[in-house]
Every structure is written in structure tokens, then in C-alpha cells.
Amino acid sequence: AKEDGRGRYRMFEASMNARIQARRSLELDLRRAIARQEFALYYQPQVDARTGTYDGAEALIRWRHPERGLVSPADFIPLAEETGLIGILGEWVLRTACTEALAWPEHLTVAVNLSPVQFRDARLAATIRNILAETGFPAARLELEITEGSLLQDEQRTLSILRELRALGIRISMDDFGTGYSSLSYLSRFPFDKIKIDQSFVRRTPHDKDSAAIVRAIAMLGASLGMKTTAEGVETDVQSNFIAGQGCDQLQGYLISRPVPADAIADLFAASVPR
């Protein structure tokens, strides 16, 4: 039994080592990738739920790894956060999104995801102000998507960061709404412009009555609080029709389009403008 235990321990140790190795090599890759510019932004359109016309797009980062191929953000954003690399990466995302969205018709917005690590940086508003000045992108066309993780610090600090950003003319969206804890109280404490209804509810709507009720409740909540609502992860016509019928303002999901490269979204938007 003793031997058996030690053997198992050795196997556990070996797999731990393998995992630490894999992590280290990914971290090294990540540092190199920033220098070699292996990142790209894909864009997923957001449409007006009533008219079906484009409102803008959300920027989603992709890593074109020379050996691993297209790496999903879920596989490297957490590592970038732990290693602090998210600072440079996040700045690159903001600058690139503002530059690429300049090519779009003037009424369209670009939404950028912000990591809680970036949100905690005292220089955030100054950094963004500089990027807007350098690129010439109008603040009014930039939206920042933040998650609950950004709101967990000191409330006064969070409020002052949000006010600073909004004073620049930037709009703030509460991402993944309905997941996590006490999200409801965040809506009364912080000045959001938009609520993004989490995909998990959208996916089960309308066949799951509880999810459908939650989508309806969030759409009503947004309307009464003066916040726009966006349903993300819309994949079917049935979902789209139901959600639009609940008074939700915007739709985003594979039904409309998967995230596409910068040149493709520019073409899509250009073709949608009557000329």
C-alpha cells in the first residue's frame, strides 16, 4: 500500500511538473508574441434589436501562435493577468481597436473588454485619453466592457474611475450580467450605460422558462434604470425574436455573425451603409 501511495505521488508530481512546464513555456511564448505582434483583433457586430441595423462591434483578441494556431483568449488572458503582461496587451487592444474602428462608418461604436487588472491601474483614464488623442478616435464611439471582477475593490475608488472614464465621453457596459454575486446592487451603485445579458441565459431562452423570465426581467430593469441592454450569444431566430420582443435593445451572437477579422468587419459595415 505504501509503495502504491508513493507511486501515485510520483505520478501526481510528474503531472504537476508537466503543467508548470507548459505554463512556463506559454508565458515565454506570450512575452515573445507581444514583441512579434502575433495578436489580432476579431470583431463581432452588435445590431439594433428592433431594426436589425448595425450599432457597432465588440473587439475580441486572438493569438495567432506559430505552432499552436489560433489560441482562444480564455487560454491566455488569465496568464497575462497573473504575469502583469495584460497591461501592455490591454493597451495594444485599445490602441488597435481605436485605429481599426476609424475605418468604419461614423455612427458605429467599438466595444473593448477591460481586465480587472487594467481597471485597477490608476493611470487607466490617462492612458485611454492618450490613445484617443493619438488615434483621433472619438471617445463617444468607444465602449468599455467590464465584469464584476472590476467592481470588487473599494467602492469610492471604483466610482471615481468610472466617473473619470465617463467624463472623457466613454460609455461603460456591465458584461456577463446575471452571473457571479450581487450583480443587482451594482446597477444601483455604479453608473453603467449598458447591461450585457450573459450568454448562459440567452442560450436557454425561451425554452427554459426561468432563463426566459430572467432575460425579460433584465430587459425591464435596463429600461427602467435608463441603461441599454444587449443580449449576447444569440444563435437562433427563435431566441432573437423572443429577446427582441422583451424590449432588449441590442443583439449579438453567431446568428448575426461570428467574430471576423478587421478587414472583414470594415467591408461588412461599408456594405451596410446606403450610398
Site residues, ligand C2E (CB under 6 A): 44, 60-61, 72-74, 77, 93, 113, 115, 145, 175-176, 232-235, 253-254, 259
The footprint of Ca ion on residues 71-110 (CB under 5 A) is none
Q: Which is nearer to ligand C2E, 206 or 233 (CB)?
A: 233
C-alpha cell at 128: 485611454
Cβ–Cβ under 8 Å, residues 183 and 151: no
Q: Which is nearer to Ca ion, 100 or 175 (CB)?
A: 175
Q: How far is the CB of 80 from ligand C2E (least distance, A)?
A: 8
Contacted entry of Ca ion, ligand C2E, none for residue 72, CB cut-off 5 to 8 Å set by kind: ligand C2E
Identity at 26, one-letter amino acid code:
L
C-alpha cell at 143: 465602449
Q: Which is nearer to ligand C2E, 13 or 263 (CB)?
A: 263
Identity at 67, one-letter amino acid code:
E
Give the separation between CA 100 and CA 110, rounded to whole angstroms.
Answer: 9
Cβ–Cβ under 8 Å, residues 242 and 201: no
Among the listed residues 152, 187, 217, 223, the single contact to Ca ion using CB under 5 A: 223
Beta-strand runs (E) in the chain = 39-48, 54-65, 69-71, 109-113, 142-146, 171-177, 194-197, 228-232, 250-252, 260-261
- Interaction of residue 113 with Ca ion, rule CB under 5 A: yes
Stretch that binds Ca ion, among 11-19, 123-131, 156-164, 219-227 (CB under 5 A): 219-227
Mask 171-210, x = binds Ca ion (CB under 5 A)?
Answer: ----xx----------------------------------
Q: What are phi and psi of 258, to 5 degrees?
A: -75, 165
State the residue number with the nearest CB to Ca ion: 145
Residues 6+ away with beta carbon under 8 Å from 191: 162, 163, 166, 172
C-alpha cell at 117: 487588472
Q: Which is nearer to ligand C2E, 56 or 233 (CB)?
A: 233
- Interaction of residue 145 with Ca ion, rule CB under 5 A: yes
Q: Identify the DSSP state of 140.
A: G
C-alpha cell at 65: 501562435
Q: How far is the CB of 63 from ligand C2E (least distance, A)?
A: 10
Give the separation between CA 184 and CA 186, rounded to whole angstroms.
Answer: 5
Contacted entry of Ca ion, ligand C2E, none for residue 254, CB cut-off 5 to 8 Å set by kind: ligand C2E
The CB density around residue 159, as the number of other CB atoms within 10 Å, is 14
- Give the interface size with Ca ion as a residue count (CB under 5 A): 7
State the residue number with the nearest CB to ligand C2E: 253
Interface contacts to Ca ion, rule CB under 5 A: 113, 145, 175-176, 223, 247, 249
